[in-house]
């Protein structure tokens, strides 16, 4: 077993983390792996939803708005 340290973890957060591991019947290492996996999955789903979502404006409308903004900036 290798011991690692996590900096800047306060006592309350550490206690909550220990309680979660006991509650879920997981070692703290396995719980941390699970939490990181879920975080990555949610982050990827979030950006996938933003980047690959249905367009709100048509290409023509977007072009017209962009043209109007350029005129206003002049």
The pLDDT value recorded for residue 12 is 96
pLDDT, mean of residues 46-72: 90
Q: Is 6 inside a domain boundary?
A: no
- Number of domains into which the chain is organized: 1
Domain that holds residue 64: 11-73
pTM as predicted: 0.63
13-56 confidence digits (pLDDT tens) = 999 999 999 999 999 999 999 999 999 999 999 999 888 888 88
28 CB-near residues (< 8 Å, 6+ apart): 17, 18, 21
Q: Is 4 inside a domain boundary?
A: no
The distance from CA 50 to its chain's CA centroid, rounded to whole angstroms, is 12
The pLDDT value recorded for residue 64 is 93
């Amino acid at each position: 077993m290798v011991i690692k340290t996590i900096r800047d973890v306060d006592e309350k957060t550490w206690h909550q983390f220990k309680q979660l591991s006991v509650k879920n019947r997981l070692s703290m290492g396995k719980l941390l792996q699970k939490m990181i996996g879920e975080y990555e999955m949610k982050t990827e789903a979030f950006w996938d939803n933003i980047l690959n979502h249905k367009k709100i404006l048509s290409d023509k409308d977007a072009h017209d708005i962009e043209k109007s903004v350029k005129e206003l900036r002049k």
